[in-house]
């Protein structure tokens, strides 16, 4: 039964991967750029694609998901981060699990340049108002709702401290971030879980094309 409850939070693991740890202490200007530190500012659609696996662990067990993609938009000053859609799958466990998003779009997030480079990062990223539901196909369905504000570390594609050095894209890394159970969950659902995952972030080289092939870069000017 411990594995059953853990599987139910796997979708949250995938979503939590796109959030940050804490905002930088000093207020610096933030600019999202199209591919390099000297490129033009970028605003518009963005996509986050899972690199490797998203893992989740709690006192009752652990598991992982290998597929997840999210799309949304952001302003060039790092404000207005919105998630319009999220997909995830290939979650391992002892039973089938279905993950669905709730209350999209998730608005109010941000990317903030970190001049102190805390944990080696270039920016702190926040996703606000996220909410998902995971249903495990056992005993008629065990449903767990998770939501809240998530935080994570952002890395430029040339930062040697980025989690996945095999990828040259900007990355968001979550390391043991906590997610919380929300109302409407089955009593077997755990109250918290720890999430670790990495996403690659890209924009569109042609606005409105739906093709995410533009590298992104965060600077403090």
Among 220, 213, 180, 173, smallest CA distance to 196 is for 173
* CB-based burial, 95-106: b 16+ in 10 Å, e otherwise: eebebebeebeb
Number of independent structural domains in the chain: 1
Residue pair 76/42 in contact (Cβ under 8 Å)? The answer is yes
pLDDT for the residue numbered 4: 38
In a domain, 200, yes or no: no
In a domain, 164, yes or no: no
Q: What is the mean pLDDT of residues 99-126?
A: 92
- Give the pair of three-digit tokens for residue 185: 């969950």
More confident position, 92 or 24: 92
In a domain, 217, yes or no: no
Reduced to 3 states, what is the DSSP secondary structure of residue 16? helix
In a domain, 59, yes or no: yes
pTM over 0.85: no
In a domain, 214, yes or no: no
Q: What is the mean pLDDT of residues 26-36?
A: 85
**Whether residue 218 has pLDDT greater than 80:** yes
Could you list the residue range(s) of the whole structural domain that residue 35 is in?
A: 2-149+172-192
pLDDT digit string (tens) for 72-88?
A: 999 999 999 999 998 87
In a domain, 122, yes or no: yes
- Give the pair of three-digit tokens for residue 193: 């879980």
pLDDT level of residue 97 (50, 70, 90 thresholds): low
In a domain, 158, yes or no: no
Residue pair 104/84 in contact (Cβ under 8 Å)? The answer is yes
Half-sphere exposure of 43 (CA within 13 A, CB side): 10
Q: What is the mean pLDDT of residues 44-59?
A: 83
- Give the pair of three-digit tokens for residue 210: 């739906």
In a domain, 183, yes or no: yes
Tell me the percentage of the chain whose pLDDT exceeds 70: 76
pLDDT level of residue 175 (50, 70, 90 thresholds): confident
């Amino acid at each position: 039964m411990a594995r059953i409850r853990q599987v139910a939070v796997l979708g949250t693991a995938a979503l939590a991967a796109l959030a940050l740890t804490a905002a930088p202490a000093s207020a610096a200007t933030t600019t999202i750029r199209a591919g390099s530190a000297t490129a033009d500012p970028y605003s518009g659609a963005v996509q986050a694609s899972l690199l490797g696996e998203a893992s989740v662990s709690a006192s009752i067990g652990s598991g992982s998901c290998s597929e997840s993609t999210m799309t949304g938009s952001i302003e060039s000053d790092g404000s207005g981060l919105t998630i319009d859609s999220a997909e995830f799958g290939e979650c391992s466990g002892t039973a089938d699990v279905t993950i669905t998003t709730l209350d999209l779009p998730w608005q109010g997030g941000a990317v903030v340049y970190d001049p102190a480079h805390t944990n080696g990062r270039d920016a702190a990223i926040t996703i606000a108002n996220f909410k998902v539901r995971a249903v495990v196909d056992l005993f008629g369905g065990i449903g767990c709702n998770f939501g809240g504000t998530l935080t994570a570390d952002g890395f430029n594609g040339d930062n040697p401290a980025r989690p996945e050095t095999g990828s040259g894209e900007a990355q968001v890394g979550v390391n043991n971030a906590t997610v919380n159970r929300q109302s409407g969950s089955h009593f077997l659902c755990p109250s918290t879980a720890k999430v670790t995952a990495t996403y690659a972030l890209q924009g569109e080289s042609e606005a409105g094309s739906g093709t995410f092939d533009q590298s992104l870069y965060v600077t403090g000017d």
